[in-house]
Amino acid sequence: MTTHDPESTGVRIIALVSSPNRPAQMGATPVVAHDPIERVDIYDFAHLNLDGVTGILITGMCDQEFLSRQQPKLEAFVRAGGRVLINGHVTKPFLPGLPKWRKLMFSRPEDLVIEPANPHPIWQGIDLADVLYRTGVPGAHTRAELEQIGVAGFYGRGYAVRLPADATVINTIGPLRAPIDYAFPLGDGEVAVHQGLDLEAFPDAPGTTLGSFAPNVRAWLGSTR
């Protein structure tokens, strides 16, 4: 695998979003706003020229019914060596082997703890303890403080069922160690899935490793084999 900086090589990375011209909401993607990633309305995908595109980012609010009708084009892209990062809850599989999401039964923050299973470039340098809590209180907070003022579970509250045989579990959730992040090959390409809030929506919070998500996503989607 060769990793390139999209800005220096001119490779194209596409982000499929539900409302490209609206203000950022839940699932907003700073990596789209600040990096050389083309922000494309999902409903324009059918006519989108994919020449030079190395990676496609699919945000969690995208219309999966529409994507399922675009499966031949998306599948051909991956099989030819492209990479796709899928965020959110897959309820209508739109690629071969893509598992459905199942809600996790939980009653306490400990039920939502994320633990590593296997390394992947998107999660390189991320301390998973940093993803458990989020808070609207401004400023830097210690983990002890976040346990008091934060809300757990924004990273994800579910898991995949019936992973393909050649899938690699990247991270797990809860005491069951159920797969929340995983990747699998498809032809010459790769599909990575995060079943929760868009990874790029996690801010570069002071004192955390969350700022690595955006450059990691950009580098992985801009890589060639």
CATH number at residue 76: 3.40.50.880
Q: Which domain holds residue 112?
A: 6-221
Average pLDDT, integer, range 201-215: 83
- Which pLDDT score, from 0 to 100, does residue 20 have? 56
Say if 178 falls within a structural domain: yes
Q: Average pLDDT of the chain?
A: 87
Average pLDDT, integer, range 17-35: 51
Average pLDDT, integer, range 130-150: 82
145 in Cβ contact with 125 (< 8 Å): no
Say if 1 falls within a structural domain: no
Count of residues in the chain:
225
Give the pLDDT band of residue 30 (cuts 50, 70, 90). very low
Strands 83-87 and 189-194: parallel
Gap between the Cα atoms of 53 and 46, Å rounded: 15
179 in Cβ contact with 162 (< 8 Å): no
Average pLDDT, integer, range 187-216: 88
- Which pLDDT score, from 0 to 100, does residue 140 have? 79
- Which pLDDT score, from 0 to 100, does residue 34 have? 46
Strands 189-194 and 178-186: antiparallel
Say if 96 falls within a structural domain: yes
186 has pLDDT over 80:
yes
- Which pLDDT score, from 0 to 100, does residue 181 have? 98
Give the pLDDT band of residue 208 (cuts 50, 70, 90). confident
Q: What tokens were used for 131?
A: 């993803």
- Which pLDDT score, from 0 to 100, does residue 184 have? 98
Q: What tokens were used for 137?
A: 């209180």
- Which pLDDT score, from 0 to 100, does residue 9 have? 54
Question: Cβ–Cβ contacts within 10 Å for residue 141, how many?
Answer: 19
- Which pLDDT score, from 0 to 100, does residue 205 have? 74
- Which pLDDT score, from 0 to 100, does residue 35 have? 55
Give the pLDDT band of residue 11 (cuts 50, 70, 90). confident
- Which pLDDT score, from 0 to 100, does residue 224 have? 67
Virtual CA dihedral for 44, 46, 48, 51, nearest 10 degrees?
160
87 has pLDDT over 50:
yes
For 158-182, write each residue's pLDDT tens digit: 999 999 999 999 999 999 999 999 9
139 has pLDDT over 60:
yes
Total domains in the chain come to 1
Gap between the Cα atoms of 87 and 84, Å rounded: 10
Residue labelled with tokens 């809850």: 89
- Which pLDDT score, from 0 to 100, does residue 202 have? 76
Q: What tokens were used for 1?
A: 């695998």
The amino acid at residue 24 is: A
For 88-115, write each residue's pLDDT tens digit: 999 999 999 999 999 999 888 899 999 9
